[in-house]
Each structure stands twice: as structure tokens, then as C-alpha cells.
Amino acid sequence: MNTQDLETPNDLEAEAQQRHIEAARAPVESPDPVPELEQEIQSVLAKIEAPSARQRIRASLHGMFRPRSAQAAETNPQEQVSLDEVLSILREESRTRTKRRNLFIGIYLGFLGLFITVAIVTHDRHMLNFLGSFNGLVAASAAVSQRQKAASVRLALFNHVRVVGPLAEALGYQDKGVQSIAAKKLTELLPQMKASDASLISPEQRGALNKALRGKNIELILAILKAWEQVGDTKAIEEVEKLAAGRGYGGRNPKVVAAAQECLPFLRQSAERQQVSAQLLRASDGNLTPSDVLLRPAMPRASTEPADQLLRPTNDAV
């Protein structure tokens, strides 16, 4: 069908039909592609959350004895979770990880004392060689769980500076996929931080970011330097000074050197403000009087002096 075959009562109708024909012939536009980071997040989550063969067998056997309604609910879980829920999962996993590590360290120290005692009594130093087999167990006890990795990856779906701290920890996970996502999201969020966001990053998380300044990810280094202008502390000064002096891998990049030199004055001011704030808090705590030296009301006590020797008021005029 073309415009010459159209029979219209007036030019306006002909023009409207012409636009309709052209719109119909125009190619259909595809929807916007999924952002690259989101694709990577979904890919890494699929690998982390993929059940093992044992888990699949267990789920299969467990499903044989469950109602179909319950099975349907499990096959269609609610994937949308809030930021607070993800952060709660990470806190829970972190506590569990700490307890597990402390337990294994306690066991290790117990066996260490036992083997040292036996080695001293038997004069057999080879007994201490058995301790090497426990090193792997202690390291495994500190390993990050799959649930903790998945929760850290899900944090990258949220555009909020509250996720900066946990993602900084994820930079140290022994998983390249998790590290890559954490670095990309931190590169996006760190420059958005303000001075009022300093409390969102713990000392351990700050240490992870300072360690990243010694890495090879130039974009992440630039983002950290931008954030340190607002929320940096004294422990970051040394690393930034190295970059400003052209030292380290990042110091070879002119952009990093310029950013570090620009960051230093702001970083020192930020660190000074935090020191003053800490001193004020300590001074305030120091002014508090301990409870054991507070004045207490006098307790009634029986006098040992004779009654006729006690001082009594007199009616004599002064």
C-alpha cells in the first residue's frame, strides 16, 4: 500500500494516513539493554547460588513429601529484598564467621599447648610438625560463606552510600567475580560521599580501601581519593602521600598523582576535624566523676562519746 492509492476527502486526512503508514513501516525499536553491571551481578549470583549436587538431591527428596502449593512457593521466591534486609544478612553472617573463627582458634591453641607439652616430655620436636595440618582448618574457618558473598553482590543493586562499607570488605573476598562487582560499584558511589557519611565506614573497611590505593585499579583509586576528601582520616594520609609523590603502581599515573595532591589538603583537614572531635569526646568523658567517689548522704551512726560530753546548742547571746 502506498500514498497514491489513498482516497481522502481532504489533505489533513491524507497527511494523517501518511504518518500512520510511515510509522508502520518503521523498524521496531528493541527495549533498552540491561546495564553491563547488572548483567555481571546476575551472572555472579547465578554461580554463587547454584546448588551443589548434594543440595539438589536433598531438595528433590524433600519435595516429594511437600504439598504442591509449598513447592510452587519455593520455585517462585520473592527476589526483591530491601537494603536493610541485605545488610541484616551480612551482619548475621559476619557474627557467625567471627564465632566460627574464634572457636577454631581456641581449638588450635589448645592443641598447640598439648603438642608442646608432649614434645617437651618426650623430647620429640617432630610432634610440632602436626600443627601444620591445623593451619588449613583455621584459614577455612575465616572463609566467607556463599550466603555472605551473594548478599555482598546484591548490595551492588542499590544506589546508596550505605553499601560502601560492606562493599569495601568484599574487595578482600577470595572471589574475583565478587571483587570485580564491588570495585565497579564503589567506583560509582565513593565520589558521592559527604563529610556526614564518615560514620558509615568502619576502621576495618577503611583499611580495605587504603589497601586498594596500593592496587592497580586506577578508576577505583581515583574514586577513593575523591571520597577521602570528605571522609578520610589520619590512617589514609600515608597512602595518599605516597601516591602524591609518584610512588607505587598508581603513582605512575599522572591523573592519580594530581588527584592525590589535590586530596591531601582536604584529607588533612578532615583528619584534624576527627581528631578534635575525638579529643572533645574524651575530655567530656574525663569530666565525669566515678560513681565510687561521688558524695553520698551521711549514714546514721551510733556515737561512742558519753552523752554529757556531746556538744549542745547554747542559749547564750553572742
Burial zone of 282 (CB within 10 Å; 0-12 exposed, 13-18 middle, 19+ buried): exposed
The 3-state secondary structure of 79-134 reads CCCCHHHHHHHHHHHHHHHHHHHHHHHHHHHHHHHHHHHHHHHHCCHHHHHHHHHH
Helix (H, G, I), strand (E, B) or coil at 247: coil
pLDDT tens-digit map of 251-304: 999 999 999 999 999 999 988 887 787 777 666 655 544 444 444 454 555 555
Radius of gyration of the chain from Cα atoms? 34
Overall pTM > 0.75: no
Cβ-based neighbours of 103, under 8 Å, separated by 6 or more: 141
Rounded CA-CA distance 225/231 in Å is 10
pLDDT tens-digit map of 181-231: 999 999 999 999 999 999 999 999 999 999 999 999 999 999 999 999 999
Res. 88: pLDDT tops 80: yes
